[in-house]
């Protein structure tokens, strides 16, 4: 007979929450937020890829301009994600039950900022046994990490675009690393959001949407086709 450890049980619950379908209204909230994030991240990634391509062709001035655009696109996304983490933390304190979470995984990060945050999250995850403490701590770590990564990306991009980098190739490598780690944080945020939506009472969803400023489209009602008149024109 085999027994699962608490960590294995928590991991299984997180996987089940992620795979399970949300009720329609909650799914609309999740899809609206994630669609907005994905769109912003895709535009930033395209700008960064274009900057790398321009640099490889020797078009350094245009490359610097594209890097600046990438940083400008990342800033509002970082603010949106950190705002969400803080909102979920505040809302979570009012709920009796919070979802299980897994700590950040160090192998999913490349840079020191992400790995350090993940290591610290793993240590406290082993010390904190209640789901509530683990959930709130992960949100705080995730929010701080996203803010730091966004700031570091902006600084590195600024050094490149202004021609201040002493070793430009290191700054370009750093941007690639920060982009990768920011992507990891984005995916972690999506998982946490869906797990949170699963436990939020349906009657509290409208208030949560207001706090999150969710761009949810109004429900579509089936349109009635006008009956064609048989009267002569």
Cα–Cα distance measured from residue 43 to residue 47, given in angstroms and rounded to the nearest whole number: 6
What is the overall mean pLDDT for the chain?
87
Tens digits of residue pLDDT in 141-167: 999 999 999 999 999 999 999 888 778
H/E/C letters for each residue in 1-35?
CCCCCHHHHHHHHHHHHHHCCCCHHHHHHHHHHHH
* Residue predicted with more confidence, 180 or 214: 180
Reference 20, options 206, 208, 204, 191; nearest CA is 191
pLDDT at res. 10: 56
This prediction's pTM: 0.85
Tens digits of residue pLDDT in 64-116: 999 999 999 999 999 999 999 999 999 999 888 898 899 999 999 999 999 99
Phi and psi at residue 193, to the nearest 5°: -60, -45
pLDDT (tens digit per residue) in 33-68: 999 999 999 999 999 999 999 999 999 999 999 999
Rounded Cα gap, residues 93 and 116, in angstroms: 26
The number of angstroms, rounded, from the C-alpha of 77 to the middle of its chain's C-alpha atoms is 8
Q: Assess contact for 134 and 153: CB atoms under 8 A.
A: no
C-alpha 125/C-alpha 137 separation (Å) is 8
- Calpha distance 172→160 (Å, rounded): 8
> What interhelical angle do 24-56 and 60-92 show, nearest 10?
160
Dihedral (C-alpha) 59, 63, 66, 71: value to the nearest 10 degrees? 180
Domain limits of the chain? 13-206
Residue 7: the pLDDT is: 53
pLDDT of amino acid 227: 44
User: What pLDDT sits at residue 33?
Assistant: 96
Q: Which of 169, 185, 196 has its CA nearest to residue 109? A: 185
pLDDT on residue 204: 92
Backbone angles phi, psi at 116, to 5 degrees: -65, -45
Q: What pLDDT, in 10s, does the model give residues 212-226? A: 887 755 554 444 444
């Amino acid at each position: 007979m085999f027994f699962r450890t608490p960590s294995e049980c928590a991991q299984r619950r997180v996987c089940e929450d992620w795979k399970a379908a949300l009720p329609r209204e909650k799914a609309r909230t999740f899809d609206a937020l994630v669609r907005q994030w994905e769109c912003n991240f895709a535009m930033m990634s395209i700008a960064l890829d274009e900057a790398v391509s321009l640099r490889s062709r020797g078009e350094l001035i245009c490359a610097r301009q594209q890097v600046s655009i990438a940083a400008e696109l990342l800033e509002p996304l970082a603010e949106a994600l950190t705002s969400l983490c803080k909102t979920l933390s505040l809302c979570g304190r009012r709920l009796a039950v919070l979802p299980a979470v897994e700590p950040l995984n160090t192998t999913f990060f490349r840079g020191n900022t992400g790995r350090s945050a993940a290591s610290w999250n793993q240590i406290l995850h082993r010390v904190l046994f209640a789901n509530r403490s683990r959930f709130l701590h992960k949100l705080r770590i995730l929010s701080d990490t996203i803010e730091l990564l966004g700031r570091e990306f902006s600084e590195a991009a600024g050094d490149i675009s202004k021609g201040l980098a002493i070793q430009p190739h290191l700054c370009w490598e750093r941007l690639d690393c920060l982009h990768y780690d920011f992507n990891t944080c984005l995916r972690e945020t999506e998982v946490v959001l869906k797990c949170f939506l699963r436990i939020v009472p349906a009657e509290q969803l409208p208030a949560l949407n207001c706090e999150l400023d969710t761009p949810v489209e109004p429900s579509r009602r089936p349109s009635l086709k006008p009956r064609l008149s048989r009267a002569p024109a």
